Amino acid sequence: MPSFAGGITPSVNPGTRTVPAMLVATQLSSAVVNIPGDASTNLVAAVAGKTVRLFRVLLIMDAATSITFKSAATALSGPMPIAANGGFILDFNGDPWYQTVAGEALVLVQTGTANIGGTVWYGQS
């Protein structure tokens, strides 16, 4: 086990899982988000037998709206209100924020008339 300045030796708890964030983050796919007005949009298309794991999100809205993430028609989140000219960020932490059922698309549903732009980063397996 390596030692650090001041003689500090890191401890490892065998009951926890550590994910090397930089290694995993570089292996993610990304998709551009460009949603005009009131719409439900497939952020990531369904692939037979594969789940979509959402790891990171950056969205900007030009008007007040509410967004909900879904696995096809099943809600993965509750509705989240966003103010006009507001943003929504889920940063990468090594674990997915949301995961679809195998074979289902990752969907973003909004209520309101905002134009939404941004990027999502995801993995499929």
pLDDT value at position 11?
A: 47
Could you say which of 1.10.3470, 2.60.120, 2.60.40, 1.10.1740 is the CATH number of the domain covering 30-124? Answer: 2.60.120
pLDDT value at position 25?
A: 62
Q: What is the pLDDT of residues 54-68, one digit of tens each?
A: 999 999 999 999 999
User: Which residues, other chains included, contact 33 with Cβ-Cβ below 8 Å and sequence gap of 6+?
Assistant: 41, 43, 59, 108, 116, 117, 118, 119, 120
pLDDT value at position 40?
A: 84
pLDDT value at position 42?
A: 94
Q: Kindly list the distances between the CA atom of residue 41 and the CA atoms of 14, 18, 60, in Å, as whole numbers in the listed order.
A: 41, 33, 15
Above 60 in pLDDT, residue 35? yes
Above 70 in pLDDT, residue 16? no
CA 32, distance to chain mean position in Å, is: 13
The predicted model scores a pTM of: 0.78
pLDDT value at position 23?
A: 41
